């Protein structure tokens, strides 16, 4: 479900498949484990292979956003499909979470 790599103070996490009620708890736990390192300042979520997200997925993402914000970090997303981008916009997440292009994510 998750693949990640670290680049300095940035952590890039690729979410695969579906982020829904059935897997939200395990994804939440794994993301929390990954960002427990306080030196991480950017959490970048890669949605290139995410096929579906429901309100549970939105909750997981917003929770990690709050954690990162509270310690002075940021969250960005890359490679959203039109369907995921629509959910992102309808939920209002696009107002608080940065949508990065490939070049911004690489910086």
Say what the pLDDT of residue 106 is.
Answer: 52
Say what the pLDDT of residue 1 is.
Answer: 78
Q: So where are the chain's domains?
A: 2-106
Q: For 78-87, which contacts have Cβ atoms below 8 Å and span 24 or more sequence positions? A: 78/44, 78/45, 78/46, 78/47, 78/48, 78/102, 78/105, 79/46, 79/47, 79/48, 80/47, 81/47, 81/50, 81/51, 83/52, 84/47, 84/50, 84/53, 87/53, 87/58
Instruction: CATH number for 2-106: choose from 3.10.20.30, 2.60.120.260, 3.30.750.24, 3.40.190.10.
Output: 3.30.750.24
How much of the chain, in percent, has pLDDT values that exceed 70? 94
Query: Per the structure block, which two tokens stand in for 85?
Result: 């981008």
pLDDT reading at 94 higher than 70: yes
Over range 47-59, report the average pLDDT: 94
pLDDT in tens, 6-38: 999 999 999 999 999 999 999 999 999 999 999
Quote the CA–CA distance of 90 and 98 in Å, as a whole number: 15
Mean pLDDT, rounded, of the chain: 92
Q: How many CA atoms lie within 13 A of 59 on its CB side?
A: 12
**Binning pLDDT at 50, 70 and 90, where does residue 73 land?**
very high
Over range 49-77, report the average pLDDT: 96
pLDDT reading at 104 higher than 70: no
């Amino acid at each position: 479900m998750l693949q990640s790599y670290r680049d300095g103070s940035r952590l890039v996490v690729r979410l695969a498949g579906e982020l829904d009620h059935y897997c939200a708890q395990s994804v939440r736990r794994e993301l929390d484990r990954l960002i427990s390192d306080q030196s991480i300042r950017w959490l970048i979520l890669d949605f290139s292979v995410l096929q579906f997200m429901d309100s549970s997925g939105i909750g997981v993402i917003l929770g990690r956003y709050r954690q990162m914000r509270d310690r002075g970090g940021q969250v960005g997303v890359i490679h959203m499909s039109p369907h995921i981008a629509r959910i992102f916009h309808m939920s209002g997440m696009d107002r608080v979470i940065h949508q990065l292009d490939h070049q911004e994510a690489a910086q």
